[in-house]
């Protein structure tokens, strides 16, 4: 593994402060743990972060006394830390927030009960904000991109290791769940800290279910098998889908579906570049499938952003409002699903470059398994 560039955490809180004026706030209470990690480097399971124009305070409990200090120091984040129980944490947060007139809350992560309690404690104007930190997270720095490359390479290698189990299922039967477990284990052995999400292995009739959960169904010769999975490395995730036909090449309607999805996905990948609207990538993929007469069988969005979360902005769909720029990471994953016949999805994760795009996921797209 080549030397990875460091994460550029220290610049993130200053960039967040630059968004305050447009959001109509002069302080932000951050409750989303992924956003707290992004801004401070802290990875604990309980924390609050309050950022004002001239202060930043992270609070957590005694379980994370040493960890929080080490991680914030390593990230070089300009953040003070207070350790204590709930009352002590709230007192410290309130003290910082009293210096601000309009406090922003993360609307997607703040309950009504929490907002009401804060309003009662502070007697201040509370402002619902959406997507402030997420907008910063859309553009990955070089350190983030390096970690996503590693996560994808782990997943690529793991699939190559376990795919022979599927090829051999006629002699040594394997179930969807067993194949998923083998793939997850291979990723962990190769350096993943965890899977990126629950691995999908969907064989035969189950391949027509886009988010099928693996079962004890045995994979047999002639099955289409959708494998959707990813690895997590130092917090950053990969996402890839390949669809195989066990024992040979598809025929009949299934061949039509395979060919159509491959053409759609290739067109979508080719369209990823700086300056293109995310919705246009969705349109490119959808048009190919519609021209093949199967528009109604493509029932999910074309893709999404990936990073610290497996699904994050920008959204590659007909409703997506983002314009891609260098450093944006998105998936392209069209699919066609026909009950009683089977389903096919092919997915790559790509980072937008100054001239086009680079695919993190490199596993071959041959159909036969």
Q: What is the CATH number of domain 9-137?
A: 3.40.350.10
Residue ranges per structural domain of the chain: 9-137, 142-359
Segment 4-32 mean pLDDT: 97
pLDDT in tens, 51-70: 999 999 999 999 999 999 99
pLDDT in tens, 136-170: 999 999 999 999 999 999 999 999 999 999 999 98
Inter-residue contact 227 to 241 (CB < 8 Å): yes
pLDDT exceeds cutoff 60 at 1:
no
pLDDT in tens, 220-245: 999 999 999 999 999 999 999 999 99
pLDDT at residue number 369? 84
Dist. CA 207–CA 266, nearest whole Å: 21
CATH fit for domain 142-359, picks 3.90.230.10, 3.40.50.300, 3.30.428.10, 3.30.365.10: 3.90.230.10
Segment 198-214 mean pLDDT: 98
- Global pTM reads 0.95
Distances (CA, A) of 41 to 75, 192, 297, 308: 6, 19, 42, 12
3-class state of residue 252 by DSSP: helix
Instruction: Provide CB contacts within 8 A for 315, sequence distance 6+.
Output: 278, 301, 304, 305, 322
pLDDT exceeds cutoff 80 at 313:
yes
pLDDT at residue number 2? 66
Give CA angle at 170 (167, 171), nearest 5°.
Answer: 100
pLDDT exceeds cutoff 90 at 368:
no
And the tokens for 90? Answer: 């709230």
pLDDT at residue number 3? 87
pLDDT in tens, 179-193: 999 999 999 999 999
Strand partners, 175: 218
């Amino acid at each position: 593994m080549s030397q990875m560039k460091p994460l550029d955490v220290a610049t993130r809180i200053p960039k967040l402060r630059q968004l305050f004026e447009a959001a109509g706030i002069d302080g932000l209470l951050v409750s989303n743990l992924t956003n707290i990690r992004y801004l401070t480097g802290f990875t604990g399971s309980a924390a609050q972060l309050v950022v004002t124009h001239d202060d930043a305070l992270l609070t957590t409990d005694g379980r994370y006394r040493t960890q929080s200090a080490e991680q914030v120091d390593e990230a070089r984040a300009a953040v003070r830390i207070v350790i204590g129980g709930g009352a002590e944490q709230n007192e410290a947060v309130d003290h910082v927030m009293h210096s601000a007139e309009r406090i922003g809350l993360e609307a997607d992560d703040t309950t009504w009960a929490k907002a009401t309690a804060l309003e009662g404690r502070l007697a201040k104007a509370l402002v619902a904000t959406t997507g402030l930190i997420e907008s910063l997270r859309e553009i990955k720095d070089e350190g983030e991109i390096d970690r996503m490359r590693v996560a994808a390479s782990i997943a690529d290698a793991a699939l190559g290791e376990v795919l022979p189990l599927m090829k051999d299922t006629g002699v040594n039967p394997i179930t969807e769940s067993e194949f998923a477990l083998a793939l997850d284990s291979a990723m962990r052995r190769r350096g993943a800290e965890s899977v990126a999400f629950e691995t999908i292995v969907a064989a035969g009739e189950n391949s027509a279910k886009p988010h099928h959960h693996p079962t004890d169904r045995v994979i047999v010769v002639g099955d289409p098998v959708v494998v959707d999975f990813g690895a997590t490395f130092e917090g950053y995730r990969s996402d890839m889908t390949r669809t195989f036909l066990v024992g040979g090449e598809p025929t009949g309607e299934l061949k039509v579906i395979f060919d159509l999805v491959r053409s759609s996905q290739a067109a979508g990948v080719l369209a990823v570049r700086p300056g293109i609207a995310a919705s246009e990538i969705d349109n490119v993929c959808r048009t190919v499938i519609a021209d093949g007469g199967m528009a109604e069988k493509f029932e999910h969005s074309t893709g999404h952003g990936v990073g610290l979360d497996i699904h994050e902005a920008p959204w590659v769909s007909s409703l997506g409002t983002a314009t891609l720029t260098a450093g944006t990471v998105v998936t392209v994953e069209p699919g066609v699903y026909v009950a009683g016949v089977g389903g096919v999805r092919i997915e790559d994760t790509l980072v937008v470059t100054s001239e086009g795009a680079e695919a993190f996921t490199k596993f071959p797209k041959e159909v036969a398994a």
